[in-house]
Amino acid sequence: MLRPTLPLPDHLRGNETGTFTEDSVVRRLPEIARRTLDDNELNDHRRECVERLAEEIGSGVITAVDEPEAIDAAAWRNHVAPHVGLSWVDAPWFFVETYFYRRLLSATGYSQPGARKGVDPFALQKRTGFNGAADLAGRLGDNLDDGRVLLAAALWANRVDLSLWRAGEGDVDERTAAVMGDGTSRLLVDDGERVLGILERGGGNVHLVLDNAGAELVADLALAAFVLDRGGHVTFHAKPHPTFVSDVTLPDLAETIQGLRRQDTPAAQIGDKLLAAGERGSLVETSHPFWVSPLPFWDCPNDLVDELASADLVVVKGDANYRRLLGDLHWAPTTPFPSIVRPRQPLVALRTPKSLVAAGIDQQTIDRAAAADPNWMTNGEWGMIQFADRVT
């Protein structure tokens, strides 16, 4: 993606008193660390590391990721260097969140020799999320020929975000159940017809930059099956390691496809179609360190730029990926989307806002949303299907 044509505003930071951003750093991150203790059998040393991390967020400063054996050690030395010594609330929020999850992996022993090496600390939450999406999967399996239904489901399933709401809780169950509902009255931006025109054309190459496991991934897989049924090619971009609690890794992708195939409902055909597509080479699953970095989209490395170059459409899922598109900066929500998001291939962002980051929304829509819901920018109840054409 090319750089924005406008001067870059400041980053969102946790020191913005009384904001959702401050709450996310000061309250939510320590809460996620302690939730990880509840969900995992860790030895005393590992538990102490996680607890120390939770306490550090409130009173400590940014330090190096000291894990030389990890394959991303050099990259994280570069990511952290500009922020070393800053308090957690003074550093840019997007950096802080990606840094927190990288530190949490280190604390649980994910990259180090021992019993916890390669063990996803969020596995329990992801399994619970998938189990709770069984009814949704069956209903999507019954609608694999309806692009409008599947595109809407891929959008509204983004409401189910396990970094904000714990799997199995009432709010999450309600959000999962509501995925198939009519959410058109809560669309802030609706470029759906333009996107459907590409998806329904057939034979295209679609890259899906995945977000959450569970209900959202099930909906994404159904949308992929729709593309594949029309002779298209799909590439899934997953995270190379666990992050943001429920973000999809390659093992999550494989397990979900197999989990769908085991269902005694129409959901099974979603898994069967994807497995067959993988065997014939029409479906590719990949990951890249960029997706867990604190970098904005316009700093995408050349090898990933080359990988995305074949796309007829790049589908960017979820709030964190949207924040990466906009650099997690203080843009006015009315800022024209194409002045910030300038892709080399046609791109659509599917997102239910859960942060104070937005662009391309007209003032009348902002006023309508704010009057109906004071928390419209952060509660995941509103939707955006936002298209940006390629910059030539």
Instruction: Evaluate whether residue 274 is within a structural domain.
Output: yes
Give per-residue pLDDT as tens, 347-381.
Answer: 999 999 999 999 999 999 999 999 999 999 999 99
239 in the same domain as 187: yes
Q: Are residues 95 and 163 in the same domain?
A: no
DSSP code at position 266: T
The predicted-structure confidence for 199-243, as pLDDT tens digits, reads as follows: 998 889 999 999 999 999 999 999 999 999 999 999 999 999 999
Q: Evaluate whether 199 touches 226 at the Cβ level (below 8 Å).
A: yes
Domain identity same for 318 and 382 = yes
CB 36 within 8 A of CB 124: no
Same domain, 91 and 140: no
249 and 372, same domain (yes or no)? yes
Output 252 or 112, whichever has higher pLDDT.
252
- What pLDDT, in 10s, does the model give residues 116-141? 999 999 999 999 999 999 999 999 99
Residue with tokens 């017809």: 193
**pLDDT (tens digit, 9 = 90+) per residue, 16-69?**
999 999 999 999 999 999 999 999 999 999 999 999 999 999 889 999 988 888
Residue 116 covered by a domain: no
Q: Is residue 12 one of the residues assigned to a domain?
A: no
377 near 353, Cβ under 8 Å? yes
In a domain, 153, yes or no: yes
Task: Tell me the average pLDDT of the chain.
Answer: 95
State residue 44's pLDDT score. 97
What is the Cα Rg of the chain in Å? 20
Give the pLDDT score at 362.
97
What are residue 315's DSSP bridge partners? 208, 348
Residues 194 and 249 in one domain: yes
pLDDT of residue 182: 75
271 has pLDDT over 70: yes
3 state DSSP class of 186: helix
Residue 153's Cβ-side half-sphere holds a number of Cα atoms within 13 Å equal to 30
- Residue-level pLDDT at 170: 64
Considering only CA atoms, which of 5, 23, 6 is closest in space to residue 14? 23
Instruction: Return the closest-CA partner of residue 156 out of 144, 142, 174.
Output: 174
- Do residues 92 and 128 both lie within one domain? no
> Are 161 and 243 within 8 A, CB to CB?
no
Is 194 inside any structural domain? yes
Q: What percent of the chain has pLDDT over 90?
A: 89
Report the CATH number at residue 293. Answer: 3.40.50.10880
- What pTM does this model have? 0.96
User: Residue 4 domain-assigned?
Assistant: no
Domains in the chain: how many in total? Answer: 2
Instruction: For residue 219, list its beta bridge partners.
Output: none
- Would you say residue 168 has pLDDT above 90? no
d(CA 89, CA 62): 10
Q: Are residues 275 and 328 in the same domain?
A: yes
pLDDT of residue 161: 82
* Residue at a domain's end among 56, 80, 108: 108
- β-pairing verdict for 233-238 and 187-190: unpaired
Out of 80, 108, 136, a domain closes at 108
Determine the average pLDDT of the residues in 289-314: 96
Does residue 160 have a pLDDT over 90? no
My answer on whether 204 and 127 are in the same domain is yes
pLDDT at 58: 85
Does residue 253 sit in the same domain as residue 337? Answer: yes
Residue 167 and residue 228 in one domain:
yes
Please identify, among 108, 140, 164, the residue that sits at the C-terminal boundary of a domain: 108
Do 275 and 261 touch, CB atoms closer than 8 A?
Answer: yes
* 366 and 292 fall within a common domain: yes
Range of the domain at 39: 20-108
Q: Are 325 and 297 in contact (CB under 8 A)?
A: yes
